[in-house]
């Protein structure tokens, strides 16, 4: 992966010029291209959540521009009449500038979605562990008065079972995923068997006691375990949804829909795609091979 680290580093000249490599995982750079991707997903029986790529904003003006982009996204979703909601990163809302400022931007999006989008729900993406506590603090503050919001929790973090219990007590909708950021071992499990076990434990808690959880994974082993658990415990398919990332394991996506499960696809778009794409390439060997094959097949 050292070669890929250099080639796809988010600030490299290569990554800025070679967007074609990311096209499998990123639905273009404009709202229109993202909406077109959502239309295709809807036609295939899937819903979507739309994410405008960007994070670690350090200027108020940039955060306000991102907030306003979400207003335009919500308008576009409503005009297109597609089955889609939105997800946001709080560092893109200015959380690193000031938490109150990020809270104001988030609640403005929540209110706008409530007024204009047929699906008013807004997902708060989870970022690196350095901002986990602040992210959950802002989420809980917003949730006190607005219920159309829910967090992502990352199963590889050692703290996550406690965060799951807190979300269940609140009645909040949770998206549970493995986690994609490179974290130190004192914060996150590194062994895949441990990660899978904690993921499954958290998912079972959410499925039995939570509020319409999003079971986000591409891991066939975990998907099979969730299917077995829900079947054995009489948990109906409409009580939860599987969630997957745009462009990853499309055959599994189609199979889930064919089997009658609900499936939502996370659809990222925008010009700040390099960091997201880099994490996808670093996650799995087959993603890296796909990216490299794109270099030589253009």
pLDDT for 218 beyond 90: yes
pLDDT in tens, 220-265: 999 999 999 999 999 999 999 999 999 999 999 999 999 999 999 9
d(CA 144, CA 110): 13
What is 27-272's CATH number, 3.10.20.440, 3.30.70.890, 3.20.20.220, 3.50.50.60? Answer: 3.20.20.220
| pLDDT value, residue 17 | 53
Decide: helix, strand or coil at residue 56. coil
Q: Which of 51, 125, 196, 249 is catalytic?
A: 125
Work out the widest C-alpha separation in the chain, in whole angstroms.
52
Which residue is associated with the tokens 């809980």? Answer: 140
d(CA 205, CA 228): 15
| pLDDT value, residue 271 | 75
Residue 177 near residue 198, CB atoms below 8 Å:
no
The yes-or-no answer on residue 279 being catalytic is no
The yes-or-no answer on residue 201 being catalytic is no
Enumerate residues 6+ apart whose C-beta is below 8 A from 288.
1, 4, 281, 282
Decide: helix, strand or coil at residue 51. strand
All structural domains of the chain with their residue ranges: 27-272
Mean pLDDT across 209-218: 98
Decide: helix, strand or coil at residue 210. coil
| pLDDT value, residue 291 | 42
The DSSP output letter for 237 is G
Task: Report percent pLDDT > 70 for the chain.
Answer: 84
pLDDT in tens, 97-142: 999 999 999 999 999 999 999 999 999 999 999 999 999 999 999 9
Query: Do the bridges between strand 122-124 and strand 149-154 make them parallel or antiparallel, or are there none, so unpaired?
Result: parallel
Q: Which of 67, 123, 173, 175 is catalytic?
A: 175
């Amino acid at each position: 992966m050292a070669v890929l680290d250099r080639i796809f580093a988010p600030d490299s000249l290569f990554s800025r010029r070679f967007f074609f490599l990311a096209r499998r995982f990123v639905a273009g750079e404009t709202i229109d291209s993202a909406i077109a991707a959502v239309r295709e997903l809807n036609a295939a029986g899937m819903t979507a959540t739309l994410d405008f790529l960007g994070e670690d904003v350090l200027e108020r003006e940039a955060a306000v521009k991102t907030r306003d982009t979400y207003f335009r996204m919500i308008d576009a979703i409503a005009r297109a009449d597609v089955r889609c909601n939105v997800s946001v990163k709080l560092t893109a809302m200015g959380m690193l500038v000031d938490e109150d400022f990020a809270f104001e931007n988030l609640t403005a999006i929540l209110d706008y979605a409530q007024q204009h989008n047929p699906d008013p729900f807004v997902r708060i993406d989870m970022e690196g562990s350095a901002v986990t506590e602040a992210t959950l603090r802002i989420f809980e503050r917003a949730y006190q008065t607005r219920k159309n919001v829910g967090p992502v929790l990352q199963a590889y973090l050692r703290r996550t079972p406690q965060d799951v219990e807190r979300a269940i007590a609140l009645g909040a909708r949770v998206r549970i995923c493995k986690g994609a950021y490179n974290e130190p071992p004192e914060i996150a499990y590194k062994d895949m068997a441990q990660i899978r076990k904690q993921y499954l434990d958290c998912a079972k808690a959410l499925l039995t006691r939570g509020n319409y959880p999003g079971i986000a994974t591409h891991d066939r082993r975990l998907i099979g375990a969730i299917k077995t658990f829900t079947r054995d415990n009489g948990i109906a398919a409409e009580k939860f949804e599987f969630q997957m990332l745009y462009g990853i394991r499309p055959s599994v996506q189609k199979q889930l829909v064919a089997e009658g499960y609900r499936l939502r696809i996370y659809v990222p778009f925008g010009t700040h795609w390099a960091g997201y794409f880099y994490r996808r390439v670093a996650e799995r060997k087959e993603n890296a091979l796909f990216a490299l094959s794109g270099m030589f097949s253009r």
